[in-house]
Each structure stands twice: as structure tokens, then as C-alpha cells.
Structure 1
Amino acid sequence: MSLAGVALGAGGSLFGQYLLSRVSARQLEVQEAAAHRAELKDAVLKFLNVASQVEKAALSRTEGGDRPAGDELGPLVDELWLAQAEIDLAARSEGLRGATYRYAFRLAGLASGEAVDASELRLPQAKFMDAAYDDMWPGRRRAGRSAAQPSGPIG
């Protein structure tokens, strides 16, 4: 009888440790996901800030007819590519890496004087935002995205 009690106690102890390790592993996953989201959010916000500056400077140049000195756009485009590289390092998905690169490429083209309408930037921008959301919240549907809108990379 006492041997059965020891066996039952040992079995209960092992089962308790198993459950505790599963809970600890899940808590670690949740903490890592939150840290990833925070790091990626910072990189995305930095990229969007620089992208906005590049777009405004390039569009004001094309609307005003005067081409500002390279001193204005050159460093901004350099900063844009550095912000893109930060996302490249922080992202977990190729979809986000690709969407970020394509959006930055379009902005760099606009900054270099390519004839790009501002509306042509909206699709790469939307794809970037969708990919960023998907990378931060995998498996969740973004509010406002219809089933017809693709969430994958632009091809």
C-alpha cells in the first residue's frame, strides 16, 4: 500500500512538473511574441516616418517644378534604406521584407525624379502595412481588409 502511495505521489509530481513546464513554455512564447511586436513596431514607425518625409520632399519638388539640391533628398533616401534594413532584420516573414523593399524602391524612384504619381505609392504602402500587421499578429485578420485583398507579397 505504501509503495502504491509513493508511486502515485511520484506520478503526480511528474505530471505537475510537466504541466508547469508547458505553462512556462507558453508564457515564454507570449513574452517573446510581445518583444518581437514591440521591436518591429518601432522599426515600422521609424520607416513610416522617413517614408513620409521622402514622399513629401519628392512631391513638393515635382509640384513646385524646382528640383531641390541633393542635400535634401539624398540623406533622406539613405535614411529610408537604413530603416528598411532595420525591418529586414526584425521581420519574421519574407512577405514583410519584400513589401518593405518594394515600397522603399518606389519611394527612392520618386525621390530620384521618376515620374511617379502619388496614387501609385498607395498600393505598395497598403501591402507594406498589411504585411507588417501579419508579421506582428500572425493568423489574425486585420480589421477592414476584405477577403478579396491579398495579404501576401506583391508579385
Structure 2
Amino acid sequence: MQRSPSVDEAACTTALAQLGTADGPSALYDALAGTVYGLALRLCDSPGTAASVCAAVFDYVCRNQGEYDPTRMTVAQWASQLTHRFAVLASGDAASTARRAGETVDCGSLTAPQREDLVDAYFGGLTYREIARRRGTAPDQIVTTLQRSLHQLLATT
């Protein structure tokens, strides 16, 4: 397995702070593109989808830089989390397919904690550890719960 290129976190933080300037977006892209695209390529079913995910991540970061909280994670970790989230949605999972078709996913088969964990992880931006802390359980249990929940959703659609 290839390792992601090293990220200059100071350059990422500086570029994020300078997104309103002419050089800010390109500096952030230069600092993170290898990591974001490399992760998207590993998660997506095609290079084209990975490129779309990469573009979506940078668009999101540029439009929502105020959401970044340096007390929770580094800029590279935030971008990686966003990449994972966008890749899951873009790679043909049942929820993404249903949304594209203008339908909703029936989450009735999930328990309330399963639904809450999915929303917190994929739309609330929380890490597995943060969800585990909230629920008073181990992060590994959250990972298992999320995996089972996604499989359950895929099986019912």
C-alpha cells in the first residue's frame, strides 16, 4: 500500500487562513491535493469519481472554512474526513443512489442510536472517537455499528 505524501500542516493552516486572498486556494490545493486525491482514489470506484470528490472537498473547504476547528483536528485530518464523507456519498452507495433518483432512504430498519451515529459521522462531522465519547462506548464499537448500519441500509434498498 502506498503511503500518503507528507503534509506540511503549517502550510495548510496558513493557506486556510488566507483563503480570501488570491493565493489562498491554490496554496491550500498545493498542500493537500496529494492527500485528498490519494484517499479519494482508494475509496472511489474510478479515477473520475475520485477527481469529482477531490473537487467537491476543495469547494466545500473554500466555502465553509469557518467550520474548521483546530482544537478538534488538523487541517489535513479535516480534509481527509471530508474526503471520506464525500467518497461514501459518491461511490454509488444506496443513500446516494436514492438521493440522485429523488427518493429518500428508508431508515426505519435502523435503531435510533444507529441513525444518530450515521448522522453524526457523515453529516455532523464527528470522528468515531467523538461519537464514542458522546455515547460512552469504545470507538471500535462505533466503527462496527456504522459498518453494520450501512450494510443494513444497503440490504433494504
TM-score past 0.5 threshold? no
Whichever of the two has the greater Rg, that structure is 1
